[in-house]
Amino acid sequence: MRVDIEDCIERSCPYCVASGAISVNADADAPTPSEHLAGSMRALETLQFDNRFVRSLPGDPNQERHSREVRNALYSRVQPSPVSAPRLLAWSEPLAAELGIQRPRADDDAAVQILAGNALAAGMQPYAARYGGHQFGSWAGQLGDGRAITLGELEGRDGQRVELQLKGAGPTAYSRRSDGRAVLRSSLREFLCSEAMHHLGVPTTRALSLVSTGDQVVRDMLYDGNARAEPGAIVTRVAPSFLRFGNFEILAAHGEHELMRQLLDSLINDQHPELAPARAEVHGIWFETLCRRTALMIAHWMRVGFVHGVMNTDNMSVLGLTIDYGPYGWLEGFDPDWTPNTTDAGQHRYAFGRQPQIALWNLSRLAGALMPLIDRETLEAGLDAYRVEYDRLHRAFYAGKLGIAAIADADDERLLGDLLGLLGEVETDYTIFFRRLAQVPMTASSDDEAQLLEPLDAAFYTAEGRQPEQRARLLDWLLRYRRRLAAGGLDEAARRARMDAHNPKYVPRNYLAQLAIDAAEQGDTSVLERLLQVLQRPYEDQPEHEDLAARRPEWARHRVGCSALSCSS
């Protein structure tokens, strides 16, 4: 489950396998991982959990559930709050296979009770983590796990330890004005997107299960005074660690420097055992590693058109994983200034095009918190490493999207910049355009204008993209692009294969998630199940599911949940 840059480049990253950056020599007759593990899958309730975090680090001695300020502790112990009628709505078979956990057979299974917070397995010691954060650019003070409760740690089939966490399992010491619960729409969106991101090859936390609670939760979706009761749900999140930048920021804010050292050493020992020999410089090496991992994550976001929506420092993982799927969105019409978050509608702080800069700003806030442990020069070197690594990866990923070996010079930069400018002038679907670009014939004999432009028509949302002036400009760009491809030496088949491996056909668009939510609220999970199956192979053509690769329908343009979302979403 651990995501290392070396793993991404050299071994098992799904994106790198798909893109051809690495090769896998598989025996065609060998069993799949799921087949291989089927005989050794175990029921969740029979597993023995551990919790090194609780065992080795100081917690809050006060175990009362009420909201309060916590000092000199990293977590507060808390039991999940029971729900009335849990029902398993969704299950990630690929993740379950990695963990060796069998799917519950019925809603009254003991496993479903655990996934709903009604029971615990052996060794579980539930807790909520203490952290702070900068929210929309300002220090927000103590935040913490207000509706997430970590159950314990489990060793997966690959030997890696992961944490299981229930989101929406009831109030904690950090719930502030919240009830600690989550609604079905936000829980389904997180479950769907975190698993889709994994199969896209984006570093991310995972989701094992989605359980409806049988209880109603009152939420004001857009914070406009129109609160209503909605069905409640709990998603089981999985990650090697859920620690965030804010876990360190809160300690620095209160001068708890020795506790910060303990936390950092524990994190390094658990998640970076390869750094142990470099004890004298280990903290600085860890920070640079985090900066590089964060650059990798952000470069992938930009590659696939993902917009996180709420990049506060408390939503930034210290492992470089995408975490906390709230008001996220996917670029449909290409617009670097687009944000899906209604709370950010005036500022556009977390817009698509600003994500690389915001990640650096967030890393700078973490660097400030770490100054009692790491010298300024080393921290600045880590931030410089982020800049260099992001630029390198961004160029490499966009070269793949264009089907060329590299963004090699100023001419290549202009070629890419001019294309993005064209996409921004008229409403053009980001995912569809790049996927369809591979289908444009690029041989020297293909001079028919209609033949060159026709594959791209599906990417335009309005007739404006098909107007003569716009088509002439796009055609001019395509001819420049063809000359660049001719200089690269790839034949048509190789170019198309390279581009298809970098440009997904299927992404969990907001309107698709909303259709799954609408059906699930009526008791029908078939829409969600279909999406989950298709999104496990996002780079493959799946003709029977062509409708799931279509651009956003007009009815979804302004519908809440399809375009505008809030932090409550």
Catalytic residues: 314
CB 74 within 8 A of CB 58: yes
**Nearest of 123, 109, 98, 108 to residue 38 by alpha carbon:** 98
CB 150 within 8 A of CB 165: yes
A 10 A CB-CB count for 95 gives 21
Contacts of 35 (CB under 8 A, 6+ apart): none
Please report the beta strands in 1-46, taking only residues with DSSP state E, as ranges in sequence order: none
Q: What SS3 class is residue 362?
A: helix
φ/ψ region of 319 (left if φ > 0, alpha if ψ in -120 to 50, else beta) reads alpha
3-state secondary structure 96-121: HHHHCECCCCCCCCHHHHHHCCCCCC
Type of residue numbered 320: G
Give buried/exposed letters for 333-372 (b at 16+ CB in 10 A, else e). Answer: bbbeebbbbbbbeeeebbbbbbbbebbbebbebbbebbee
Handedness of CA 398, 403, 404, 406 (dihedral sign): positive
Type of residue numbered 420: L
How far, CA to CA in Å, does 176 sit from each of 131, 146, 567? 13, 7, 15
Q: Which two tokens stand for residue 118?
A: 């009604």
The residue written with tokens 């070629």 in the block is 415
Contacts of 73 (CB under 8 A, 6+ apart): 58, 59, 60, 61, 130
Q: What SS3 class is residue 165?
A: strand
* Angstrom distance (rounded) from CA 302 to CA 305: 5
Beta strands 206-219 and 87-91: pairing type?
antiparallel
**Nearest of 223, 242, 239, 234 to residue 147 by alpha carbon:** 234
